[in-house]
Amino acid sequence: MPYAFKIALRHLTANIGQTALLASGVAMAVFIFIFMSALIGGLADLLVNRTLGNLAHVTVEASDADLPLLAPYAGETALVARQRSTRRDTGMLDAGPLRDLIETMPGVARAALEVTEGGVLIRGGRVQRVSVTGLEPDRLNAIIRFDRAMQAGTARLTGETLMIGATLADDLGLSVGRTVMLRGDTGNSVTLTVGGVFRIGAGQIDAAAAFIDITTARTLFDSPNRVSRIAIRLEDFNTAERTAARIEATTGLTATPWTETSEQLFDALVAQARTGLVLKSFAMLTIVIGIASSLMLTTYRRRPEIGIMRAMGATQGFIVVVFVIQGMLIGVIGGVAGGVLGLVSLVPFPAIEDVQSGQLPIDVAQGSIGLGIALTTLAATLAAILPARAASRIDPVEAIGQ
Amino acid sequence: MTALQPADALLQLRNLTKTFGSGETATHVLRSLDLSLQSGEMTALVGASGSGKSTLLNILGTLLRPSSGQFRMLGEDLFTADDATLTAFRNRHIGFVFQFHNLLPDFTALENVMFPSSVRDGHERPAARRRASELLDRVGLADRVGYRTTKLSGGQKQRVAVARALMNDPALILADEPTGNLDRASARQVMDLLAEINRAAGTTFLISTHDDKIAAACSRRIEISDGRIVSDWS
């Protein structure tokens, strides 16, 4: 064992009570760090699950055709107001292979073709305007987890069935097994049976959306072999921008990450993450100040011993190393204790998807336990440098004479 | 009185001064001091309190820098040496026995004796452990090897300090009132031990003392007063 390490260890074990108290303070700060990380991360996940959970993380659509080249007269400027095309042939043709390609990209969990248009549901004398989405039956739960949100019926689509939200079903007096007429904006109509009623918690989808089989949707909207978009769910929603850029580079199509379509949510998450960073920084600052002040007191108390060591041939560098190791050991002990405390405290919290109203959204996986311990050790080591340097400069004659 | 200034002396001081403070508040503790010590000598340094004995011992121990003059030991110029050089020199060539023993309280007797060797090597060598055990045996503490120094009597602590001073087989041992804090029996034991080491190993001792009996046991006696050597005889 290196001699400086042995001396540092002996200093710590010589006064177990004081060392335990100091390590407990560090452990508490580490626990706060871990708890804040888990809470901020969990809160972000909860927000995303409750909002982004029903949205695609990335959507891929056909790029608009290039603008015609305008040649303004000399000295003049051409102003162009561009409007997205409303023609029915603007979707993507034969997008199946593209979907399969996207699904092989790293970070992509699922990709699904969608046809989206407007329409009306007609039930007796009642008429309700709805957003109609045609989904691939075998990828029904790729974006919205219908299988977890069904109130009645099953999460399944055939050419003769549709799924609607519970609010819409109430408004139109519909239930599973009832028939309803769906008329598209093209003027085409189809009569379908309600196969399932869901409630996913997003008002607009529960109240004004109908989901049908993609083949039925293509017929209804006169767009054979076309899809409106490819909806993509990622393994980690935080990689949306990077993945969207990769898809654009690979396919030449327009890929839009959720951070653009839900900008306010993104801003809120960024602000929340910054708040968490500030709180975690304060926890680290507490560790640094606590250890630095404690080691300052320790070096003062051990002045005579430092003087003896210097008289016996210990160099200034050796004294610095002894006290820096002391700081590091306190960091490791406090860090590991805080990590264990954090883990034990956080494990009983329910998983994010099971969090009920009023419960803290804690995500243990985002507790940054390893990072917390590593940062604490680093902070404690750095905090020890100043007291260690002060100790190394103690005058041995003065110190021994005390 | 004999003036000892041979060229092959263990250490030589020439015109050495030490002044604390400056200007009107300056205190001249050592004034134009000339001194040589020969290898194997056992010298008593006597003088009243405040005469400059401890300051001289601290300078010779390289713990304190002189203000001016020359200071050479074992051929090395210690007046101009930097801190790292002085520390290494002190560790290798100088042993200390203090009045209040100055042992490390959290360490055992054996670990205290090993300290000068271990701090030099960066780890505790088995050979150092064996030598420290032998030294503790030599000072009569073979049965106290694993004791924390806080569990030892004053006399035992001072014998541990003597063993520690011998650990690196130094050329010079500086002892500042080594028996000043001991009862009569313990003082005699420690003094007999120092004399025996001097005879057996030829280790050079410079012992600061107020005790005439200890001074009488030494082969040379230097008296210092008001920062000057006023008598030096052997």
Per-residue pLDDT, averaged over A220-226, amounts to 86
Q: How far apart are CA B149 and CA B199, in angstroms?
A: 28
* SS3 state at B50: coil
Residue B3 above 60 pLDDT?
no
Note whether A310 contacts B123, CB cutoff 8 Å: no
Per-residue pLDDT, averaged over A222-245, amounts to 89
Q: Identify all chain B residues contacting A6, using CB atoms and an 8 Å cutoff.
A: 124
DSSP state of B9: -
Note whether A11 contacts B106, CB cutoff 8 Å: yes
Nearest residue in A to B106, CA atom: A14
Which pLDDT band holds residue B8 (cuts at 50, 70, 90)? low
Handedness of CA A338, A339, A340, A346 (dihedral sign): positive
Residue B190 above 50 pLDDT?
yes
Q: Does B71 touch chain A (CB under 8 A)?
A: no
pLDDT for B82 equals 93
DSSP state of B108: B
Out of B63, B91, B92, the one facing A397 most closely (by C-beta) is B63
> Of the candidates B106, B169, B99, B97, which has an alpha carbon nearest to the alpha carbon of residue B134?
B169
Cα R_g (chain A), whole angstroms: 32
pLDDT for A402 equals 47
The residues, any chain, with a CB within 8 Å of residue B150's CB and separated by 6 or more, are B105
Picking from B83, B117, B120, B162 by the largest number of A CB atoms within 10 A of its own CB, the best residue to mutate is B120
Q: Does B99 touch chain A (CB under 8 A)?
A: no
pLDDT in tens, A159-171: 899 999 999 999 9
Note whether B105 contacts A1, CB cutoff 8 Å: no
ipTM entry: 0.91
Per-residue pLDDT, averaged over A107-118, amounts to 92
Contact B11, B172 (CB under 8 A): yes
pLDDT for A138 equals 92
Q: What are phi and psi of A220, to 5 degrees?
A: -60, -35
The alpha-helical segments, DSSP class H, found in chain B are 53-60, 83-93, 109-121, 126-138, 154-166, 184-201, 212-217
- Residue that wins the pLDDT comparison between B91 and A125: B91
Q: Does B74 touch chain A (CB under 8 A)?
A: no
Per-residue pLDDT, averaged over A81-95, amounts to 64
The whole-angstrom distance between B174's CA and the closest CA on chain A is 12
Which pLDDT band holds residue A112 (cuts at 50, 70, 90)? very high
Per-residue pLDDT, averaged over A10-35, amounts to 90
The whole-angstrom distance between A305's CA and the closest CA on chain B is 6
Q: Would you list the DSSP string of B168-184? A: T--SEEEEESTTTTS-H
Q: What are phi and psi of A126, to 5 degrees?
A: -95, 140
Q: How far apart are CA A233 and CA A69, in angstroms?
A: 37
pLDDT for A130 equals 93
Which pLDDT band holds residue B211 (cuts at 50, 70, 90)? confident
Out of A3, A14, A313, the one facing B90 most closely (by C-beta) is A313
Q: Beta strand B42-46 with A226-227: parallel, antiparallel or unpaired?
A: unpaired
Q: What is the 3-state secondary structure of chain A?
A: CCHHHHHHHHHHHHCHHHHHHHHHHHHHHHHHHHHHHHHHHHHHHHHHHHHHHHCCCEEEECCCCCCCCCCCCCCCCCCCCCCCCCCHHHCEECCHHHHHHHHCCCCEEEEEEEEEEEEEEEECCEEEEEEEEEECHHHCCCCCCHHHCEEEECCCCCCCEEEEEHHHHHHHCCCCCCEEEEEECCCCEEEEEEEEEECCCCHHHHHHEEEEEHHHHHHHCCCCCEECEEEEEECCHHHHHHHHHHHHHHHCCEEEEHHHHCHHHHHHHHHHHHHHHHHHHHHHHHHHHHHHHHHHHHHHHCHHHHHHHHHCCCCHHHHHHHHHHHHHHHHHHHHHHHHHHHHHHHCCCCCHHHCCCCCCCCCHHHCCHHHHHHHHHHHHHHHHHHHHHHHHCCCHHHHHCC
Burial (CB count <10 Å: 0-12, 13-18, 19+), residue B70? middle
Q: Identify all chain A residues contacting B102, using CB atoms and an 8 Å cutoff.
A: 304, 307-308, 311, 400
The whole-angstrom distance between B213's CA and the closest CA on chain A is 25
Note whether B106 contacts A311, CB cutoff 8 Å: no
User: pTM of the prediction?
Assistant: 0.72
Residue B44 above 60 pLDDT?
yes
CA A110 from chain centre, in angstroms, equals 17
Handedness of CA A320, A322, A325, A326 (dihedral sign): negative
Per-residue pLDDT, averaged over B84-112, amounts to 93
Mean pLDDT lowest among A98-107, A131-140, B181-190 = B181-190
Per-residue pLDDT, averaged over A63-86, amounts to 63
Q: How far apart are CA A343 and CA B110, in angstroms?
A: 43
Q: Does B47 touch chain A (CB under 8 A)?
A: no
pLDDT in tens, B99-139: 888 999 999 999 999 999 999 999 999 999 999 999 999 88
Nearest residue in B to A395, CA atom: B63
pLDDT for B2 equals 40
Note whether A3 contacts B84, CB cutoff 8 Å: no
Residues in chain B: 234
pLDDT for A329 equals 94
Mean pLDDT lowest among A68-82, A198-212, A247-261 = A68-82
Q: How far apart are CA B153 and CA B156, in angstroms?
A: 5
pLDDT for B188 equals 86
Binding-site residues on chain A for chain B (CB distance < 8 A)? 1-4, 6, 10-11, 14, 304-305, 307-316, 318, 396-397, 400
Which pLDDT band holds residue A63 (cuts at 50, 70, 90)? low
Per-residue pLDDT, averaged over A75-103, amounts to 73
pLDDT for A86 equals 52
Q: What is the 3-state secondary structure of B131-156?
A: HHHHHHHHCCCHHHCCCEHHHCCHHH
Which pLDDT band holds residue B5 (cuts at 50, 70, 90)? very low
pLDDT for A64 equals 58
The whole-angstrom distance between A368's CA and the closest CA on chain B is 36
Note whether B104 contacts A6, CB cutoff 8 Å: no
The most distant pair of C-alpha atoms in chain B lies apart, rounded to whole Å, by: 55
> Of the candidates A362, A381, A385, A275, which has an alpha carbon nearest to the alpha carbon of residue A31?
A362
pLDDT for A201 equals 78
Place of tokens 């609607």: A164
pLDDT for A41 equals 84
pLDDT for B1 equals 40
Note whether B63 contacts A11, CB cutoff 8 Å: no
CB pairs under 8 A between A and B: 64
